[in-house]
A and B are shown apart, each in its own frame.
Chain A
Amino acid sequence: DGGITQSPKYLFRKEGQNVTLSCEQNLNHDAMYWYRQDPGQGLRLIYYSQIVNDFQKGDIAEGYSVSREKKESFPLTVTSAQKNPTAFYLCASSKGQGAWNTEAFFGQGTRLTVV
């Protein structure tokens, strides 16, 4: 079955460490997105990518980095520069710009906790 997979589901990080969250999709989608969700709040866009080897900053990109070397993969690195990284992270994909049927599909999320 096609879908979008995030791993791990739970992740613990010590202060000062970088961690990488995985996001893989086998839907042949061009566009991929990373969102951050804090308790009781909506989704804030971190980074998005419309095509391989290209990505754009979202609203809260500081302290995060991404890469898009393959169409199916869009890993997110939370760096030590991110001052408050504890949150629920959601990855999504869609057919992308210009596609008529452009709803996004979401992974199950990764809950990151700084200890």
Chain B
Amino acid sequence: GNSVTQMEGPVTLSEEAFLTINCTYTATGYPSLFWYVQYPGEGLQLLLKATKADDKGSNKGFEATYRKETTSFHLEKGSVQVSDSAVYFCALILIYNQGGKLIFGQGTELSVKP
């Protein structure tokens, strides 16, 4: 079946540290890939996306590259800030007659300390 797997959290980093959150997927077809961020008590916000292999999504210093050969979409940021503390979700959606179902990973909580 179709699924998304993220590294388990919580991840605790010091300010200005390098961040990687791993995400791998299984999909029958050609998914689009997303990273969403959720701040406490709120809904999810789209952070970045990639719609085809080798695409790089980027936003607010975060980046992720769609790697079809390794079925991965790892999230990276060179220097995290306290304000980046949140839960991050990797997700995929299958288009083109795959039902349009949006599938999420389990989320990774990030805590950045001053």
Q: Using CB atoms and an 8 Å cutoff, list the residues of chain A in contact with chain B.
A: 6, 31, 33, 35, 40-43, 45, 48, 50, 56, 90, 92, 94, 96-109
Contact = CB atoms under 8 A, between A and B. Distances in A.
Interface of B: 32, 34, 36, 41-46, 49, 51, 89, 91, 93, 95-107, 109
B24 to A, nearest CB: 15
Contact of B95 (A45, A97, A104, A109): A97
B100 A103 contact: no
28 contacts: A31-B100, A41-B107, A42-B89, A42-B104, A42-B105, A42-B106, A43-B104, A43-B107, A45-B103, A48-B102, A56-B99, A90-B43, A92-B44, A94-B93, A94-B102, A97-B95, A97-B96, A97-B98, A97-B100, A100-B95, A101-B51, A102-B32, A102-B100, A103-B34, A104-B93, A106-B36, A107-B43, A109-B42
B93 A102 contact: yes
Contacts of B32: 102-103
Contacts of A101: 51
Nearest to A40: B109
Contacts of A96: 100
Given A31-B100, A33-B102, A107-B43, 18 more contacts: A41-B107, A43-B104, A43-B107, A45-B101, A45-B102, A92-B102, A94-B100, A97-B96, A97-B97, A97-B98, A97-B99, A98-B100, A106-B36, A106-B43, A106-B44, A106-B45, A109-B41, A109-B42
